[in-house]
Amino acid sequence: MYTDQAATGSAESSIRSYELFGKGIVLATRYEQLRKLYQLPGEGHLICLQSSIYQALSKEQKELFTRMELEPGQARIRDNEMATDFYYCRIPVASKQRQTA
């Protein structure tokens, strides 16, 4: 379930709740969990994509991603056992010094 709390111009706030389900959501969750399974180099936020999504990116977007091949015997991507690779990209986190400026 996804919960979104939105504040209006007044002191009031409202909570919207969405229940999301389906194969796409399940796969997104599995790919998000890759950060726990693999020691991917770099610092910052991590974006993981399945190959079919990567193939739909522009050339410039593809250049941001690194391919990670799944070797035989390694952990597979649950609910996408046929996957032989995935792509990842690190997005740097702004330093605290820059955030407070």
> Is 70 exceeded by the pLDDT of residue 21?
yes
Tally the domains of the chain. Answer: 1
CA distances from 25 to 14, 17, 20, 59, 84 (A): 25, 16, 7, 26, 20
Answer whether residue 1 is part of any domain. Answer: no
Answer whether residue 8 is part of any domain. Answer: no
pLDDT, residue 11, reads 55
> Is 50 exceeded by the pLDDT of residue 6?
no
pLDDT band at 63 (very low <50, low <70, confident <90, very high): very high
| Number of Cβ within a 10 Å radius of residue 30 | 19
pLDDT, residue 35, reads 75
0.85 exceeded by pTM: no
Answer whether residue 58 is part of any domain. Answer: yes
pLDDT, residue 16, reads 76
